[in-house]
Structure 1
Amino acid sequence: MVLRHGVYLPPFGELADPRVLVDLAAEAEAAGFDGVFLWDHVARPREPGLPVGDAWIGLAAIAAATQRVVLGPRVTPLSRRRPQDVARESVALDLLSAGRLVLGVGLGSDATGEFARLGEVTAPRDRAKLLDEALTVLTALWSGEVVDHPGPAFPVDNLQFLPRPLQRPRIPIWVAAQSVRQAPLRRAARYDGLCPEATPAELAAMLAIVAEHRGGDLTDYDVAIAAPTDDERAAYERAGATWWLTQLPPGITRDAALARLRRGPN
């Protein structure tokens, strides 16, 4: 599979302005990048005074201003979201982008304090349960069929959500994982891609487990690596990466980001 190239933008500081994100996404598309992905945070408590942009509004602006690039959040912590809201927003983005949305999901991290400071669930095991249930509800709502789901966290009582996404069988879902632990990789194997935080050797081991859960077949399965430099790109590609995302640093200025994007995916 040919390695595709994207850019991973932190919507903080000057990049919190969706108009700036539009400029950057248009530049990335013109420079030959295949995708534009955003961090999804609502606060950065340990960085007081830092402007934080809404990833979903930013993605909508990007979808309307581009024609070709794949786009999406990497990743949305579903434990802090209601799946019915994500269903509505993601379908709207899929329609607006003419089927270019990828939904990156995961547990998220409370390393910056945003979960605890906003009263969100913080225990990883509890967030994992919420993530799995939210994915069940979300994909059911995308189906366009009548949904009955008893809960416990996200009950749905005999509801049908229309319209359906443009993409079939569904909007692709990429799942975050950080180790060879079985539960996150079983989750990733059920969906369409992996967003790993791993060395090349660790990635190869993770994909061996994912492949086992998928009956040995990784055909059309995406693996999106985000990194600030290209030093290990070839090693990650050999390990199974299908996407290489150039990760721009938090706090980067608009002008510095534009200068980097104009160099293209290299």
Structure 2
Amino acid sequence: MRYGIVILPEDRWPLARAKWRLAEEFGFDHAWTHDHLMWRWLREEPWFGCLPTLTAAAAVTSRIGLGTLVATPEYRHPVTFAKEMMTLDDISSGRLLCGLGSGAGGHDERVLGNPPLTPRQRHGRFEEFVELTDRLLRSPETDYQGSWYTARGAQMRPGCLQRPRVPLVLAAAGPRSMRLAARYADIWLTNGTPGRFDALPYQQALPLLRRQSAAVEDACAETGRDPATLRRMLVTGSTTGGVLASAAAFDDAAGLLAEAGFTDLVVNWPRDSHPYKGEMAVLERVAEKLRRYSGPPAPPTPPAPDSSRRSAPPHHTPEHV
């Protein structure tokens, strides 16, 4: 099992810097921040940009993986986004994890004056976003013409430090999006029940998580992929709760999730108030366990298949991601 932590981009950098450094010192394998212009529970509170935050975090850490949780097409274009991912992968010395999701509407979509999309339209746009992002991150030059996106001679030089590209982490809850993850993702991501925001205790969420894990295996079978090449990550906090109630709860949840086939468990930095209200003392006790029992790094996960069936450079994924 690998462990991650979410640090909301809500603090001015002197305070945020200390959190990112501590996340690495605590022994977490990866750390994430949300990629939104505004977030549902903190609409009128301080909120900083995801990619500048990760860039700054890369400069004050040296080991921990760094990820977007998650970037969406709601205000990003694959060409400019892929260029930023390539750059951040270089700045972080190959520690970047590219988290992607379809988006769910709301402020990030409305703020630019875009018309609301149907679920079918939103997923169709996401499929193109993932396909084009994958191509861009693999290739020095890309031409693409789709229903949602166009790229003409898009240059990506010198390319990602990680080969054949930055690992893609795809959020997927339904059959169609799981098939997309099976085709393109290095890590499948779930947070439990889609659209739920009252943090069902992890023991109660476990049956659903087991079904989702099994559904991802089915999606891999449909696409001809070995399920063992796809890591499975649960992000707790918003829909799956109780994992940071105590150090013992953390251990219990990690064991149950490993039995269900999950490879990565992500918690949230405790806050003084909703959301993610919790005690820093619990996180510190969890960190003691992570530092004490961390063994040799887990072997890198084999890369997602190259859906375009082009030849690609030899794969290299740093052990820490």
TM-score, scaled to structure 1: 0.85
Secondary structure, aligned partner of 1:64: helix
Q: CA deviation at 1:102?
A: 0.8
Q: Is the 8 A contact 1:207 1:240 kept in 2?
A: no
Query: Residues 163-188 of structure 1: CA distance to partner in whole angstroms, max 9, x if unpaired?
Result: 2001111111011012xx32111111
> Gaps (5+ residues) in structure 1?
none
Secondary structure, aligned partner of 1:86: helix
Single out whichever of 161-170 and 17-26 deviates more from structure 2. Answer: 17-26
Query: Could you tell me which of 223, 229, 241 is aligned with 2:232?
Result: 223
- What RMSD over aligned residues (CA atoms) do the two structures have, in Å? 2.5
Q: CA deviation at 1:157?
A: 1.8
Task: Decide whether aligned partners of structure 1 residues 249 and 28 sit closer, same or farther in structure 2, where only a CA change above 3 A counts.
Answer: closer
Secondary structure, aligned partner of 1:147: strand
Q: Is the 8 A contact 2:78 2:129 kept in 1?
A: yes
Alignment of 1:82-121 (within 5 A): 82-110=77-105, 113-120=107-114, 121=116
Q: Which residue does 1:262 correspond to in 2?
A: 284
User: C-alpha separation between the residues in 2 aligned to 1:257 and 1:92?
Assistant: 36
Task: Decide whether aligned partners of structure 1 residues 10 and 20 sit closer, same or farther in structure 2, where only a CA change above 3 A counts.
Answer: same
User: C-alpha separation between the residues in 2 aligned to 1:260 and 1:22?
Assistant: 21
Q: Which residue does 2:47 correspond to in 1?
A: 52
Q: Which residue does 1:9 correspond to in 2?
A: 7
Name the aligned partner's letter for residue 113 of structure 2: G
Secondary structure, aligned partner of 1:58: helix
Query: Could you tell me which of 255, 259, 266 is aligned with 1:245?
Result: 266
- State the aligned residue count: 256
User: C-alpha separation between the residues in 2 aligned to 1:261 and 1:46?
Assistant: 22
Q: Which residue does 1:162 correspond to in 2?
A: 157
User: C-alpha separation between the residues in 2 aligned to 1:227 and 1:161?
Assistant: 34
Q: Is the 8 A contact 1:31 1:262 kept in 2?
A: yes
* Residue 20 of structure 1 pairs with residue 44 of structure 2: no
Q: Which residue does 1:197 correspond to in 2?
A: 191
Task: Decide whether aligned partners of structure 1 residues 216 and 132 sit closer, same or farther in structure 2, where only a CA change above 3 A counts.
Answer: closer
TM-score, scaled to structure 2: 0.72
Name the aligned partner's letter for residue 27 of structure 1: L
Query: Residues 80-129 of structure 1: CA distance to partner in whole angstroms, max 9, x if unpaired?
Result: 2111111111011100111111111011223x544234434443222222
Query: Residues 132-157 of structure 1: CA distance to partner in whole angstroms, max 9, x if unpaired?
Result: 21222222222333322123322112
Query: Residues 217-238 of structure 1: CA distance to partner in whole angstroms, max 9, x if unpaired?
Result: 1234221111242353322211
* Residue 74 of structure 1 pairs with residue 83 of structure 2: no
Q: Is the 8 A contact 1:116 1:122 kept in 2?
A: no
Q: Is the 8 A contact 1:133 1:154 kept in 2?
A: yes
Task: Decide whether aligned partners of structure 1 residues 216 and 137 sit closer, same or farther in structure 2, where only a CA change above 3 A counts.
Answer: closer
Q: Which residue does 2:304 correspond to in 1?
A: none
Of structures 1 and 2, the one with the larger relative CO (CA 8 A, separation 6+) is: 1
* Residue 140 of structure 1 pairs with residue 138 of structure 2: no
Q: CA deviation at 1:242?
A: 0.8
> Gaps (5+ residues) in structure 2?
193-207, 238-242, 244-249, 290-321
Single out whichever of 142-151 and 256-265 deviates more from structure 2. Answer: 256-265
Q: CA deviation at 1:25?
A: 1.4
